[in-house]
Amino acid sequence: MSTAEHKLVVTSSPQYHDAASTANVMWAVSACLAPAAAWGVYVFGFTAARVLAAATLSALAVEFLIGLAFNRRSLSDGSAFLTGLLVGMNMPPAVPLYIPVVASAFAIAVVKWSFGGLGSNWMNPALAGRVFVFFSWTGHMTNWSMPRTLTGLDGVTGATMLSAVKSGVVESPVPILNPVRYLDSIGFPRSVADVNVTSWLNTNVLNPFGAHLPGGYIDPFIGNIPGSIGEVSAMLLLLGSVYLIARRIITWEIPTSYFGSFAVLVWVFGGTPYGAGYFAGDILFHVTTGGFILAVFFMATDIVTSPITARGMIVYGVGAGLLTFLIRFFGSFPEGASLAIIVMNVFVPLINRYTGPKRFGVVRAKNE
């Protein structure tokens, strides 16, 4: 074969082209979040829709104005929409509208654009916005609405499942051997669906194998619990995550290591604050409450603020699981996932440095 018939052209990287674009990824993630957001509007009412709209429109407006100032048009890539949607989903349903507006503005202007826009943000913008307003207006950010599916009424407020249990640990001299049983003892509402589905599962699926599911776990799985608008339905969030993994928009390393480390720690040590001892933690309760599923699959896996190597992703996920456990069980906040992910975002450059591949022929100095 002559050189005229076969020519090898060497170009700079990347040599491999993937059909996925930033816009495709961002809009796909938003679509996967939409069912959980819609469920939040259904169970919490029109006030939840207003919060979601305020957060999303604020993010889009700030993105547009900053893009206008720098002559960059970035609304179509979907990143600002996704940030605003996530901010709204992390808000209490009845929070004053200026709070999600400020949270989204902070997320876009300060976190996303302070170092140059998409791809240069130093932590997850939506989580940063949520944490900023949480510490600024803690009272409003911890005022929860009860779902209409539980009370049949709008505007009824109450504690989340986690905060109710955490308060019980502090106030009750009697050990809380099981979180769900404790919630039953204080009259925490349970839906008819929880009772009926639990009974059907036990009769038709679990009992023939000698297993039994106590009541109280179906409500947090479906989303019949007080909490942030988009975090309450573990079922819908899991369905969305299946699509993201199937499309390889996210990979298995971070969700698996985050979920696994947290679950093991809850199982081994999670019963000790309740007086139940070791190896008595209630994993199912803690992974279906407190926005854990939203954090694991949609927040911790942010492409920009997570490590670039598989080994680094596992380190990052384990660290997030450990911090979430420590904050939730031994800190003053009942949830912990948002703070845990932000702290791990800060360590991502360090994780990348020590878990990335070594360049061929390069010897790192001992003092580096």
Residue 327's pLDDT is 94
Total domain count, the chain = 2
CA distance 130 to 126: 6
Residue 280 is assigned to a structural domain of this protein: yes
H helical segments located in 70-160 = 79-89, 98-105, 125-136, 138-141, 148-151
Q: Based on the domain organization, do 97 and 179 belong to the same domain?
A: no
Q: Based on the domain organization, do 339 and 248 belong to the same domain?
A: yes
Residue 94's pLDDT is 93
Residue 197 is assigned to a structural domain of this protein: yes
Residue 168 is assigned to a structural domain of this protein: no
Contact 4, 188 (CB under 8 A): no
Residue 342's pLDDT is 95
Q: Based on the domain organization, do 86 and 177 belong to the same domain?
A: no
Q: Based on the domain organization, do 192 and 74 belong to the same domain?
A: no
Q: Domain containing 341: what range?
A: 173-355
Residue 339's pLDDT is 93
Name the pLDDT band for 8 (thresholds 50, 70, 90). Answer: low
**pLDDT tens-digit series, residues 212-258:** 999 999 999 999 999 999 999 999 999 999 999 999 999 999 999 99
Q: Based on the domain organization, do 201 and 260 belong to the same domain?
A: yes
**3-state SS, residue 151:** helix
**pLDDT tens-digit series, residues 23-67:** 899 999 999 999 999 999 999 999 999 999 999 999 999 999 998
Q: Based on the domain organization, do 129 and 218 belong to the same domain?
A: no
Q: Based on the domain organization, do 230 and 295 belong to the same domain?
A: yes
Q: Based on the domain organization, do 124 and 184 belong to the same domain?
A: no
Q: Based on the domain organization, do 88 and 205 belong to the same domain?
A: no
Contact 28, 247 (CB under 8 A): yes
Residue 195's pLDDT is 92
Whole-prediction pTM? 0.89
Residue 362 is assigned to a structural domain of this protein: no
Residue 189 is assigned to a structural domain of this protein: yes
Residue 162 is assigned to a structural domain of this protein: no
Q: Based on the domain organization, do 133 and 183 belong to the same domain?
A: no
**Nearest to 283, CA basis, from 160, 199, 178, 200:** 178
Q: Based on the domain organization, do 80 and 199 belong to the same domain?
A: no
Residue 14 is assigned to a structural domain of this protein: no
- What would the two tokens of residue 75 be? 């609304």
Q: Based on the domain organization, do 126 and 39 belong to the same domain?
A: yes
Residue 11 is assigned to a structural domain of this protein: no
CA distance 145 to 159: 8
Angle, alpha carbons 221-226-228 (nearest 5°): 90
Residue whose structure tokens are 């050990």:
175
Residue 3's pLDDT is 47
Mean pLDDT over 109-116 rounds to 89
CA distance 63 to 80: 6
* Stretch among 6-10, 79-83, 186-190 having the lowest mean pLDDT: 6-10
Percentage above 70 pLDDT, the chain: 88
CA distance 226 to 159: 7
Contact 179, 214 (CB under 8 A): no
Mean pLDDT over 104-130 rounds to 90
